[in-house]
A and B are shown apart, each in its own frame.
Chain A
Amino acid sequence: MRILIIEDDRDAADYIARAFREVGHVADQAPDGEEGLAFALDRQYDVLIIDRMLPKRDGLSVIGQLRAKGIETPVLILSALGQVDDRVKGLRAGGDDYLPKPYSFSELLARVEALARRRGGRGEETVYRVADLELDRLSHQVTRGKEEIVLQPREFRLLEYLMKHAGQVVTRTMLLENVWDYHFDPQTNVIDVHISRLRSKIDKGFSQPLLHTIRGAGYMIRDK
């Protein structure tokens, strides 16, 4: 995966780039809006990571320019302004995801991979399959092996999101945002409880667990 990081904080940019390279991605860096825009127009990237406040050209303006030129590369906005209206503004400007600073790298990585994958287009399938687990998005039926699993509507959406991102780490915040549409930090980890309920429904009594907890990052559904 090829990633462009447009961020004026040199240390932060170096750190992210290094971390991305360590997990096997290619990462370019641009220190300001103008250069970032030139890079993004010039080369092919899978995901752009753009800081909101940049010298020379504001992050939102870079996104606007790209979208105006028909470049639909997914954009993740990084911002020190973690406010409600601020996120809405960023997404409205053409951003695809929004991450307030300070963030953990695992969160950033999970989101960037989700963005890149979305582009790959699993979203259009009507049936998701992971090993012998099957989720039919049209009939809302979930089966494992030959057995039908009855899920609450919210549990269904939770599983749907996890399976859509099968093989990828999904963080708690991502789940809260995408399954519940909540954009705040619930002091207690309520998500864990929901996951453990879901796990008991889909993994209990089967020899091979599918829903894994990734320590320090989140959850992942995978076949292995």
Chain B
Amino acid sequence: MTNDAVTTTEGPPHAHDPRVGRLHGIIERIRTRTWSSLSALGKLSHTTAFKLTLVYLTVFALFAAFLLGYFAWNTRRLITEQITRTVDAEITGLAEQYNQGGIRRLVFVIDSRARRPGSSLYLVATHAGDGLAGNVGLLGEGVLEQTGWTETVYRRLDDPEGTEHHALVRVFELPSGFRLLVGRDLDERERLYDIILAAGQWSIALVIVLGLAGGFFVARRVLRRVDAMTETSRTIMAGDLSGRLPTAGSEDELDRLAVNLNVMLERIEALMRGFKEVSDNIAHDLKTPLTRLRNRAEEALRSGKGESDYRAALEATIEESDELIRTFNALLMIARAESGQASTPMAEFDAADIARGVGELYAPLADDKGLTLKIEAGVSLPVRGNRELVTQALANLVDNAIKYACPHESEANGTPADVLVQASGEGDRIRLSVSDRGPGIPEGDRGRAVQRFVRLEQSRSEPGSGLGLSLASAVAHLHGGDLVLEDNGPGLKATLVLPRDGPQLPQPSE
């Protein structure tokens, strides 16, 4: 029964036997664990880091193999060369002995040399092949007949039952027909060769093991971080734009990527928010005048009596549509300013000049409302940006200031009613500010005031699209600057703070 449960894991657990159930659970767990680790391994082997490791590993192993092979082959060649050189020298010496003392002397010398232990082989034989002196017992067949170099098997004379060894020998024919054989045992050479080969195999194996482990480690490290990024980006894609990629703070390439992506996400989030706001506001603030427009036309059709009624309705309609177009233009402009700098031409211009020009344009209007408008601007204040947009932003601020700095209210405060337009430099930034002595904006509302369409309570009665401050803010951002709203005690001081050198690319550290 138990065996059954083990072998057929697919089968239903035998609930009546608790042991079977437990065993089943363990097997299941092992199985899932194996599967998950296998699939993790599969995932790992698909990473770039791992593939790169494999490629490098292969190249490196091949290189190591080649190097060791070359080394082994060269060693072998060197040893062989050395053997042939010494054997050649010895043969020359022995032939000399023979020439001087004949076969007897040669046999004597060979005898004494053969007795020395070592890897040298000697043999003097008759033409028929009978050994006269030396330390070689058995030789390969036909070795003696052939003069010159041969590799052969042999047995030493003092060890006739021993194993066969390999040797490199040279057979030399002496003038009288005697054969002289001198050689060296090759075991040492083979042993060295084997040692090198074995070392090579081990080192390659080690390279592969270490390389795989390293690759595995690197890939897993990278994979874990990439997985985290993927996970976050998936939640972001699902609609949660507030998510940010995790950063390790190590400033490596992955971290830099994550930081940059976060900057991008921030931008996207801001754009999306802007987009949503625009559509919300269009829905809300454009629908109202459109409805009014429609109602008026309808009413004129229904109850209009005579031409003058129709004419009045038509004139009102045109006026209303002009207002709509104006609002729409302002909205588009803000959207464009907020969407980035790429398409906005930037050049150097004089901000002091702008302040004077705008101030002069609005001075009569302020005067008409019983306000004095003062301009404080230096001789010149060069700044890089879009002259028209900055002018428009400043004009909006002045327009606002005049609108809200109502003289009677200021008189009630006992302070002089005036609007002050200032242009000044401050380090690498310039400030274009407009101060009024109107009711100001309560601190808590200042953030809201720059949002599109927001018209704070006390300003509801004034004409205007309510886009002035948001446009100024968008223009400031476009230039890499900011719109700062401060208390002017009483009144509002709105300042465009712009960098002198124009907008810079967003820094990832931001």
Contacts and interface: CB of A to CB of B under 8 A. Distances in A.
Interface of A: 82-85, 88, 102, 104, 154, 180, 182-188, 190, 193-194, 197, 216
B308 interface: no
Contacts of B396: 187
A94 B472 CA distance: 32
Contacts of A102: 325
A110 B506 CA distance: 45
A193 B464 contact: no
Contacts of B326: 185, 187
B329 A82 contact: yes
Given A102-B325, A180-B357, A188-B403, A85 B364 contact: no
B424 interface: no
A104 B465 CA distance: 20
Contacts of A187: 326, 396, 399, 463-465, 468
Given A190-B362, A193-B364, A194-B364, A184 B344 contact: no
Interface string B363-400: 01100100000000000000000101101100110010
Given A82-B329, A83-B336, A193 B345 contact: no
Interface in B475-497: none
A68 B266 CA distance: 49
B367 to A, nearest CB: 8
A131 B326 CA distance: 37
Nearest to B328: A102
B40 to A, nearest CB: 54
B364 A197 contact: yes
Nearest to A182: B391
A193 B364 CA distance: 6
A88 B345 contact: yes
A187 B326 CA distance: 8
B360 interface: yes
B8 interface: no
Contacts of B163: none
Contacts of A104: 318, 322
B250 interface: no
Contact of A85 (B345, B403, B465, B468): B345
Given A104-B322, A197-B364, 15 more contacts: A83-B336, A83-B343, A84-B388, A85-B345, A102-B325, A180-B357, A182-B388, A183-B388, A184-B392, A185-B326, A187-B465, A190-B361, A190-B365, A193-B364, A216-B315
A102 B326 CA distance: 10
A66 B124 CA distance: 114
Given A85-B345, A180-B357, A188 B399 contact: yes
Contacts of B391: 182, 184
B365 A85 contact: no
Given A82-B329, A85-B343, A154-B360, A193 B365 contact: yes
27 contacts: A82-B329, A83-B336, A85-B343, A85-B345, A102-B325, A180-B357, A182-B357, A182-B361, A182-B388, A182-B395, A183-B388, A184-B388, A184-B391, A185-B329, A186-B361, A186-B399, A187-B326, A187-B464, A187-B468, A188-B402, A188-B403, A188-B463, A188-B464, A190-B364, A193-B365, A193-B368, A194-B364
B361 A84 contact: no
